[in-house]
Chain A
Amino acid sequence: MSAEAVAHEHHEGPARGLMRWITTTNHKDIGTLYLWTSFIMFLVGGVLALLIRSELFHPGLQIMEPEFFNQLTTMHGLIMIFGAIMPAFVGLGNWMIPMMVGAPDMALPRLNNWSFWILPFAFLILLSTLFMPGGAPAMGWTMYAPQVLQTGDAFPFMVFAIHLMGISSILGAINIIATILNLRAPGMTLMKMPLFVWAWLITAYLLIAVMPVLAGAVTMLLTDKFFGTSFFNAAGGGDPVMYQHIFWFFGHPEVYIMILPAFGIISHIIPTFSRKPLFGRASMIYALSAIAFLSFIVWAHHMFTVGMPLTAEMFFMFSTMLIAVPTGVKIFNWVATMWRGSLSFETPMLFAVAFVVLFTIGGFSGLMLAVTPADFQYQDSYFVVAHFHYVLVTGAAFAIMAGVYFWLPKWTGHMYDERLGKWHFWLSVIFVNVLFFPMHFVGLAGMPRRIPDYAVQFTLFNEISTIGAFGFGMSQLIFLYTVVKCVRGGAKAPAKTWDGADGLEWELPSPPPYHSFTTPPEVS
């Protein structure tokens, strides 16, 4: 009860102690909770990845049984996607959106708390499956039927963990939409909205459109296993491939859910450190919308080898290739923003530049995958693994790191240690390529993904990858240290931390007051 009393005295500030975090309705507190959760999950998922890489260091089983390897792959994928990348973006959105649109807080603050607190429980359930009879789910993050029905006791818990994550994402997305549509400062028209806010608005729509579909898909798995339905069973008139259609109708928009907010972040950082306004603002917004629209009609490019009719294969090939056009527009606009700017390379900018370069590599391999006949060779090989780690790690994760360095002074009121930031960047960027680039080669040479053991001709590149993985993992410890150090103290950060920065969030002091804008600012 003492926490309440404190709150009564300074209704400005937060309650103290644990109750502050459990009961908070404040967008900054909740943003912080999301960000730390995401970082912890990144470490957990990363440790699983290191176990995977240790097993793959050398042909022949090294340290674990194949069942356990498959569980690691599955949990790594699920945790990185639902635990590390998505919550990180929600955390950044929570922190920045109210400040960027000039609002005191999110539109539905209690709902915001709920969205967050569902997540730790979801991951508690998911991680606990590792200790159940039969082990964790082992069919990859895609959970294809009918193989996934062979999961042991973990099965219903996997499904319910997904349900919880889905509820959390949907509620979070609804809140973000309501905030953006309803709480903008007077004068901030939609086209004047900062790009991160735009990116999140579109992402939120993707979320409410596809998370329920995933929930439906896993519900059908559940009833097929426990209640005798035949959705994915040919003998009953169902079809295992139908699961894949439903899953990827969710799954492809999902991958853009993990990249659109990244595009938003990069669209703030590059202009700031180029000291020049973003080139082609309007076309950036149109491109985001076009990507989001197209993301709904390309799903079957994950299923080129399931034996679809020719016309379907053609359609999905063309629609997939088309996504390169709006994505290209974004890349070109960023490059044009840098062109004839006045560039400086603080850590956020370093990560942003690396993002543009390396995401593009991942995009290029994506485009190669889109070519249906060629995908017959790439599908389910390490070439795909290379593709998606370039877009996810050097894409999404690098953008998150860039955003954290960019806004950390705003959040904490302290400058981070630039020298450590640079170390983190350079080690990361070198090792991440050592880690993922060789995967292109083994993939093309014929190494399938999701195997614990491989033919000896793949040895060399796997060894290199593993070395890169440990290097990259260790480099993240510098990140952890730099962030903690910055939270605890450091040089005082001015309200406008970066001389090229622009936007409402930079008009608030660093750190900003507990309720960001108590009176709505005017936007001209």
Chain B
Amino acid sequence: MSTIRLGGVGRAVAGMMMLVTGSAFAAPQFNMPYGVTNVSHDIYDLHMMMLWICVAIGVVVYGVMAWSIIRHRKSKGAVPAQFHESTTVEIIWTIIPFLILLGAAIPSSIVLIKTYHTGNPKMVVKITGYQWMWHYSYPDQKIAFYSKLAQSSEDARELGSKVNVFKVPHYLRNVDHPLVLPIHTRVKFLITSKDVIHSWWVPDLGIKKDAIPGYINTDWTNINKPGVYRGQCAELCGRGHAYMPIVVRAVTRAKFKQWVAKEQQKPQQHMLKRTED
């Protein structure tokens, strides 16, 4: 049995105070990130398109409702009309939403096809999920390593640790060994798992793909901008599900070459062998 300690609530309240006084606090983000790949931009645009379609329909529906609620009240002496059906109206409000949806389905399908079109990758990275870390390997470059939650987060995450998580750099979103990728390069991912299902999700790349034990899933990316992009495992995989973040460091091609050369000097961490191999 697990333990519940109520002392933590006290700390939670203290944290709340800290919030009010505005210390060490990242500005909250409301919306989906626009991201750094063409796919993530497309997805963002689809998302906003759907949002505005819904808002527009909402305004109409809620507007009509509000009008009835305000004007057709019994307390204002409203007398009920007795109409109760109209085939014409029913047909209209079947057809119009249908057409709207058709309009939304077309761009959605185009983006979907694009995300499925792996194209001509310049580079391959194999991603393997473990309870609870990721393994990356670059078969052509002969580089392979594990990527685990950074020690600073590891120390702070324990129940009852006295560490202020707001002071930990990128709490729970930091790893010891990030995945390094070149920008402006089509990279193909082969995604799988060695134990249970995980999911490799980096919002800024617009990628989420499940890592299924015994099967390979593919995906691809082409990053437009150098930077550090963070995500985390998105399929419940047990006790450590919250603790297997993903960090992608996108660098220029030249810097990537240097990184590869340096990395090849190190001993490679090949995958653990498991019985079913």
Q: How many residues of B contact A (CB 8 A)?
A: 113
Query: B165–A457 contact, CB under 8 A?
Result: no
Q: Which residues of A contact B242 (CB under 8 A)?
A: 66, 448, 451-454
Interface centre among A62, A241, A282, A457 (most CB of B within 10 A): A62
Q: Which of B81-89, B136-144, B251-259, B263-271 contacts A (4 or more CB under 8 A)?
A: B81-89
A353/B238 contact (C-beta < 8 A), A60-B161, A64-B159, A364-B58 known: no
Query: A240–B12 contact, CB under 8 A?
Result: no
Query: A307–B75 contact, CB under 8 A?
Result: no
Once the chains are docked, how many angstroms separate the CA of A332 from the CA of B96? 12
User: Of all chain A residues, which has the CB nearest B91?
Assistant: A283
Cross-interface CB contact of B16 among A58, A329, A458, cutoff 8 Å: A58
Cross-interface CB contact of B232 among A364, A448, A452, cutoff 8 Å: A448
Query: A353–B93 contact, CB under 8 A?
Result: no
Q: Interface residues of B: mostly helix, strand, loop or mixed?
A: mixed
Residues of chain B from 1 to 52 with CB closer than 8 A to chain A in the complex? 1-6, 8-9, 11-12, 15-16, 19, 24-33, 39, 42-43, 46-47, 50-51
User: From residue A307, how far is it (CB to closest CB) to chain B in Å?
Assistant: 4
Query: A329–B93 contact, CB under 8 A?
Result: yes
Query: A282–B85 contact, CB under 8 A?
Result: yes
A335/B97 contact (C-beta < 8 A), A60-B156, A70-B236 known: no
Query: B81–A276 contact, CB under 8 A?
Result: yes
The answer, yes or no, to whether A140 is at the interface (CB within 8 Å) is yes
Query: A283–B214 contact, CB under 8 A?
Result: no
Cross-interface CB contact of B195 among A146, A283, A444, cutoff 8 Å: A146
Give A275-313 as 1s and 0s: 1 = Cβ < 8 Å from B's Cβ atoms.
Answer: 111111111000000000000000000000111001001
User: From residue B190, how far is it (CB to closest CB) to chain A in Å?
Assistant: 11
State the A residues within 8 Å of B (CB). 51, 54, 57-68, 70-71, 131, 135, 138-140, 144, 146-147, 150, 233-235, 239-241, 274-283, 305-307, 310, 313-314, 317-318, 321-322, 324-325, 328-329, 331-333, 335-344, 353, 356-357, 360-361, 364-365, 367-368, 371-374, 376-377, 379-381, 441, 444-446, 448, 450-461, 463
State the B residues within 8 Å of A (CB). 1-6, 8-9, 11-12, 15-16, 19, 24-33, 39, 42-43, 46-47, 50-51, 54, 57-58, 61-62, 64-65, 68-69, 72-75, 78-86, 89-90, 93-94, 97-98, 101, 104-105, 108-109, 111-113, 115-116, 156-161, 163, 165-166, 170-173, 191, 195-197, 199, 201, 203, 206-210, 212-215, 217-218, 231-243, 276
